[in-house]
Each structure stands twice: as structure tokens, then as C-alpha cells.
Amino acid sequence: MANQANYNATRGADGGAPLEKDFSNTDFLDGNLDKDNALQRIRTAGSISISPELFEKIYLSPQNVVKGDLRKTFGNPTPLALVGFLLSLTPLSCDLMGWRGAGGNGAADTGVYFFFGGLLMVLGSIGEFIVGNTFPFVVFGSFGAFWLSYGATLQPFYNAWGAYSTTSNPKDGLTNAGFEASFGFFLLWMGVLCFIYMILALRTNAVFVLIFFTLVFAFGFLAGAYWQMANGAPASGLPTKLIVAAGAFAFVTCLAGWWILMAIMLAALDFPFQLPVGDLSHIIKGASDKRKEKEDKGQYEA
């Protein structure tokens, strides 16, 4: 019932799709109010709440209640973090598949990993923390750290692979079995983390689930590629096939991510059309929702 009230409160004046912030309903205003007070009343009533479906779409998290009006005060940080993620992973996925002769594990985009993947995702994570969205806060923060870590690994300054070199040339550490096996474990546990996120995303939408589903395979194939190289397999054999497969899954991840980004921005700008993301928040209900339904049912029977 509360969710339905929120939904009705945020439908446009013409009864259309729910808006992120609806300022069209001014019928409650007293004609004797001065301009400043009238504007304040519009802002207060126009930002009451948003529907659970719209909240889930623009914040990638089930609707929750937080203290204060921070969501009405600050912009939505979710698309900023998505931009950082997509402009890092999309070119990397193309590199992994070797399109147009690309390669080198995406080393040409090291700066992108720092300033798009790392910086923008960490800023987005902080923004989600401020407005009280725990799940995207953790997801964006962990992936921001991943991109910073990956960029640092590619930098000679951090000596990640140079420490494994048995010669005077630090680059020889890149082909050292110890480095390859060790880096494979990092990729493996990133895949495990994405699997956990995939389960949790079942409370959000189908496109977000698809993102983590494909990332599980992408990280798994990359880990397998590095372990095959550590075992001495020729780089042009099975490891290359695994890397290309990882790039293909990562590219599907990116397609889903671009779709969500477009859906969020269309909703934020109140476009006359919207993109569906497959809302799942009403299918897998939270514990609090079930408890509320049980209490309401008990009161009704009483």
C-alpha cells in the first residue's frame, strides 16, 4: 500500500509514467501565496518520493528509506559510475578480442583505467554512500578499486611484473609462471565477487543481473588463460582462445551496461519514451516487504 501511494504521488499530471521529480502538480497551491513560498511548496510536494520501479531503475537498488532529503538535494551518482565502468571495459573487451589488431591486455588505455574506471567509479561510490544506497556503493567502490589495481599492474612504476623477472629486463616478469599464476588468482576472486553481486542483483533488474552473469564468465576465462600460460601452454593456443572468449563476454557486459545507462538518463530527463530493464524488485520481495504484508493480512483478518 505504501509503495502504491508513492507511485501515485509521482505520476505526471496526465497520469503518465512516474517521474524522477514531478513538479507538475500545483493544484494544492493557494493563490494568495507569494512567489517564493509557492516555489518552496512546489519543490517540497514535487519531490515526495518515486515509485519502486523507477527507484530501482535509476539507482540499481531496491527502494529503501533513509533519513533526510539527500536524494532530493543531490544528483543521481549512478550514471557517473556507469560511464567510468563502460569507458574502461568496452575498449578493453575489444582489445581482448584483438579487433583491428588491438592487444597488449589493454595497456594503451592505462590512463583510462585510472581516470575513468578508478576516479569516476570511486566518486560514484561516494555519491551512493551519501544518498544511502548500500548495494551500488559497494559495487562501484569495489570496481573502482579493481580498475585502479589493474592500471597499477600495467604501470612499470609499481613493479608488479618486474619483481618476477629473473633477468635484468623487468619485462621478462610478464612471462614468468609465478606472475601469471598469481595474477590469475586475482581474476578468479573477482569472478567470485561478481557471482555474489549477480545473486544480490536479483532484487534489482534483469539487465543488471546479465552484467554480473557475463562478468563471472569473463573473469573465469581470463583466470584460466593466465593459468594455462603459467603451465607453459603456447600463448597462441588455448590461452588466446580463452582471452578472446573473455573479451566476448565482457563485450556483452558492456552492451547491457550501455542499455542501463541510456535507460537511467532517459528517466532522469523525463523523455517521452523509456527503455525497459526488466524490473525484478516486485518478483523477489524483500524480507521487510513480506513482513509488512503479513502484518497487513493479520490486521485485515482481525
**Residue 27's pLDDT is what?**
43
pLDDT digits over 263-295, tens only? Answer: 999 988 888 988 999 888 778 776 666 666 666
Mean pLDDT, rounded, for 142-157:
95
Nearest to 58 by CA among 150, 127, 119, 159: 127
- Which among 3-17, 48-62, 129-143 has the top mean pLDDT? 129-143
Rounded to a whole number, what is the largest CA-CA distance in the chain? 84
**Residue 62's pLDDT is what?**
58
pLDDT at 37 over 60: no
Task: Quote the radius of gyration of the chain (alpha carbons, Å).
Answer: 24
pLDDT at 75 over 50: yes
| Band of residue 116 on the pLDDT scale cut at 50, 70, 90 | very high
Q: Please report, as a single letter, which amino acid is at residue 293.
A: E
Q: Please report, as a single letter, which amino acid is at residue 251.
A: F
Distance CA 206, CA 262 (A): 15
Average pLDDT in the chain: 81
pLDDT at 4 over 60: no
> Residues 106, 117: contact at Cβ < 8 Å?
no
What predicted TM-score, i.e. pTM, was given to this entire model?
0.77
**Residue 270's pLDDT is what?**
83
**Residue 105's pLDDT is what?**
87
